[in-house]
Structure 1
Amino acid sequence: MSGTAQVQEPTKLDPALIRVVIAVLVGGLAVVFDTTIVAVALHTLATDLHTSVATIQWVSTGYLLALGVTIPIAGWAQRRIGIKRLWLIALVIFGLGSVLCTFAWNAPSLIGFRVFQGIGGGIMLPLMTTLVMQAAGGAGLGRIMSVVSLPTVLGPVLGPVAGGLILDHWHWSWLFWVNVPFCAVGVVLAAVMLPKDGPVTRPKLDVVGVVLVSPGLVGVLYGLSRSSQAGGFGRADVLVPLIGGLVLILAFVGWSLRRKAALINVRLLDHWPLASSSLLLFLSGIALYGAMLLLPLYYQQLRGMSALGAGLMLIPQGLGTFVSRNIAGRLSDTMGARWLAVIGFGVVVVGTLPFAFAGGTTNEVVLLVTLFVRGLGLGAVTIPLMALAFRGLERADIPDASIISRIASQVGGAFGTAVLAVILQHALLGAHSVAAAATAFQVSFWWSVGFAAVAASLSLVLPGRPRQ
């Protein structure tokens, strides 16, 4: 690891790097869109599989927990069997899990197949970044991240639209069939385009680390996922796994600091670009996913739209993100992440603030423009933060940095969703009129604005302009 590594921006991307990006994007599209596509189908699944919404919720929760188990071991597995082989194995697991989901005959079978699918997805998420960052060799990180992060940025926005369209016209099994072509083509492209694996080191598995960090991450994610139920964070089934998970994670940090070959090298957090970007990625997860809970509910519960209609209303946010991501990628390679993040979070505040005043009859055109502005801010924030995490790192450190930044973003998203769900739930108590419900949503959006404002302030601690 070197904190003084220079940043060199190429005039054009290397053809070998372009091949890696194409192979990773095609395979990764299915994983990133899968979670948000399925999220809009829970009521349909509960009806068709003759079960309760509380039970079918495990279709999403089980997948999330499987990610929590497998993300921490991706770095060790890469060193053990090679990154290309691991990517192919994970992609096949995810594709097979998708096929199995289409044949699910009841809720337990679908939940089990989703857990199997999540094992592949949990390995692929950090590998997507690792593959591209190692191929880039530390050059033009912002530009590269603006391309490879496209599914991650647009997934939460376009996923509900795709899910709504499928449910309106086809059987729910097509939610999973759409993954199969991406996986099949992704396997072929990866086999042809990814560079061959070099010699592997075959390190021993840090069993103690696995026992600590994987259950710890699962406990945190499970506790946060349960907090949206009645009782919020005061429930025993929220507090016990949440506190237990945090204790296990802290124990893993202590264990890792005393070992040279820990499952995840947490000493990398001494590297300020990675540490600061992870903190802000946590907060950006709150700003993105927390508001993504509120926005569809606002359109459905307050304005009476269908799931598809609510998803369509969010398209301008995705367009804004699409527009700003390339600009943000280029600027982050020259001016650094600090001021881009400050400005980006500031734009997110501006793009969220009108919803803190919106009611059930607020002009839709105004809200659509507002969402486009919000999308511009999200793109300006996400790309430089993701690129900053790898500035100045040696090639061997990239897998662990990918895992650390991925966990920060994943937990931030879960935390933001949980907190804003609890805030909205409490605000809606006793709201028996449209005006009272509108006030409840306004209170919740004020909290979302506050999270983004705090993130804008903390962005000032990010490193400045990289050396060219």
Structure 2
Amino acid sequence: MVALGSIMSVLDTTVVNVAINPLAERFDAPLATVQWVASGYSLALAAAIPVTAWAIRRFGTKRVYMTAIALFTLGSLLAGTAWSIESLVAFRMVQGLGGGMIVPTGMTIMMRAATPETMGRIMSIMGIPILIGPVSGPVLGGWLVDSFSWRWMFTINVPIGALALLVAARSLPRAQGAPGRRLDVPGLLMLSPGLAALLYGLSTGAERRDFGDLGVLLPAAVGAALVVGFVLRARTSPHPLIDLRLYRDRAFTAGAVTLALFVVGYFGSMLLLPMYFQVVRGESVTASGVLGAPLGLAAGVTMQFSGRLADRVPPRRLVAGGVATAALGMGLLTTQLSDTLAYWRLALSLLVLGTGVGLTMMPTMAAATRGISPDDAPSASTALQITSQVAAAVGVALFSVTLSVNGGGATTTPTHSGPFADTYLWAVALMVAAVLPALRLPGRRPAAVPVAPPAAQATAEQPAQERA
């Protein structure tokens, strides 16, 4: 049930990317305006994430999760009935507000349901939507637009959301929040708009492949300043929006840094693969998605085994090995890439890369959160989700600009493989760099990792009931 809601949220981040041109034609609108169908969703999602930790403590996981699903489903229904590009952008932002709370709330539910000995296999369930979204989103979006209508990209979520609500109402334990928990309003006013402005600057710079424009620099700088301001304030605030004392925990910090470096390299490089297939090899949108499927398939299958391994093997050994495997797969892809590379050889490289990704992503999150108390779970899940979102945006911006520079500084996508291979070298370097913080993860078997005692009263959240 938790994975079902997360799949909807993650898929909708990428599913509309292939429909930008059809939407521009349908609404007779410029591409710069239509791009907000994707950007508006991402910015609303980023703005909603920071408030999730407080909302969980205040209202309980069940209420927040069902509210998020309902808001996302309502936004999907409205988006499917949009009559203008302006209404579609507005309804996509409603979707984003719900989607931003789905993943961190779902992760909190899973963390509280796990024991230290089962954290790995529980977190592997959460990894399914995170990995299939970037691979499946463009394929699903292209198929729906080609075979049915652009409206189906949104209305398809309505029955899925209704099912998720029904299952959540029946299966999630009723948990009371803490009515006296006050919202950190100054922190929210800094972090939410700060993240939105930062991601807007990064995504706009990536789209234009130019970070020197004032329209890119100003929001990115303002956003970064607001985020830094939040961090400085949260260090002294008695009840911050997100408790940064989590970073005093060595395993959590090592996991967060490993995740950040790996996500920059992995998700940033995923931008290049469809472009290579479509521009260099002349494949269709749907075909490019299918050709990239070995990556998602290998990652998804490996993740089911890595979840169990993460509960038995020292995190340092498993995650460092996974990162090294992913770097090897990326290196094989980089060194072989050409205009005429046989697809079976490319698929083998993607299989190695996907295996490494499956051994890295969720075992890293499991190692980072294994010692987190139930009371700290909302802050931990929210912090990791923010880390992933910002790292992915940085990766897309970095690789988009690097591809442009390697292609001679042109604003158009290079039509031969050389610039792609040169850009992939950065992904290899980032993945190799991620091995260093991975080596700071615990070297003991997970069962031996002590669990921090719950805070007093555990915010009246009935943690024992949710762990059952």
TM-score (norm 1): 0.91
Mapped contact 1:224–1:238 kept (Cα < 8 A) = yes
Q: CA offsets per residue over residues 275-311 of structure 1, 9 Å max, x none? A: 1111111112212211110000000110011111110
Q: Give 1:356 deviation, angstroms.
A: 2.2
CA distance in 1, matches of 2:137, 2:318: 27
Q: Which residue of 1 aligns with 2:261?
A: 283
Mapped contact 1:137–1:395 kept (Cα < 8 A) = no
Matched residue SS, 1:203: coil
CA distance in 1, matches of 2:413, 2:235: 54
AA at the equivalent of 1:270: R
Aligned alpha-carbon RMSD (Å): 1.9
Q: Which residue of 2 aligns with 1:444?
A: 423
Q: Which residue of 1 aligns with 2:358?
A: 379
Q: CA offsets per residue over residues 414-434 of structure 1, 9 Å max, x none? A: 100110000112222377999
Mapped contact 1:27–1:185 kept (Cα < 8 A) = no
Mapped contact 2:407–2:413 kept (Cα < 8 A) = no
Match of 1:246 among 224, 231, 245: 224
2:15 counterpart of 1:25: no
Q: CA offsets per residue over residues 357-377 of structure 1, 9 Å max, x none? A: 412111111001111111111
- Counterparts of 1:39-58 in structure 2, within 5 Å, are 39-58=17-36
AA at the equivalent of 1:154: I
AA at the equivalent of 2:338: G
2:334 counterpart of 1:356: yes
Stretches of structure 2 that go unaligned for 5 or more consecutive residues are 449-468
Match of 2:251 among 270, 273, 276: 273
- Counterparts of 1:395-406 in structure 2, within 5 Å, are 395-406=374-385
- Counterparts of 1:278-427 in structure 2, within 5 Å, are 278-357=256-335, 358-427=337-406
Deviation larger for 377-386 or 222-231: 222-231
Q: Give 1:137 deviation, angstroms.
A: 4.2
Q: Which residue of 1 aligns with 2:134?
A: 156
CA distance in 1, matches of 2:411, 2:395: 26
Q: Give 1:436 deviation, angstroms.
A: 7.0
Mark the CA change 1:292 to 1:436 in structure 2 (over 3 Å): closer, same or farther. Answer: closer
Q: Which residue of 2 aligns with 1:8?
A: none
AA at the equivalent of 1:305: E
AA at the equivalent of 1:243: A
Mapped contact 2:306–2:359 kept (Cα < 8 A) = yes
Matched residue SS, 1:232: coil
Q: Which residue of 1 aligns with 2:16?
A: 38
Q: Give 1:29 deviation, angstroms.
A: 2.1
Q: Give 1:34 deviation, angstroms.
A: 1.4
Q: CA offsets per residue over residues 123-160 of structure 1, 9 Å max, x none? A: 11200100111122444100111122211122111222
Q: Give 1:447 deviation, angstroms.
A: 1.5
CA distance in 2, matches of 1:217, 1:46: 28
CA distance in 2, matches of 1:162, 1:155: 10
Mapped contact 2:72–2:95 kept (Cα < 8 A) = yes
Q: Give 1:51 deviation, angstroms.
A: 1.3
TM-score (norm 2): 0.91
CA distance in 2, matches of 1:249, 1:128: 24
Q: Which residue of 2 aligns with 1:232?
A: 210
Q: Which residue of 1 aligns with 2:161?
A: 183
AA at the equivalent of 2:432: A
Q: Which residue of 2 aligns with 1:204?
A: 182
AA at the equivalent of 2:235: L
CA distance in 2, matches of 1:59, 1:247: 26
Stretches of structure 1 that go unaligned for 5 or more consecutive residues are 1-22
CA distance in 2, matches of 1:87, 1:323: 27
Q: Which residue of 2 aligns with 1:121?
A: 99
- Paired residue total: 446
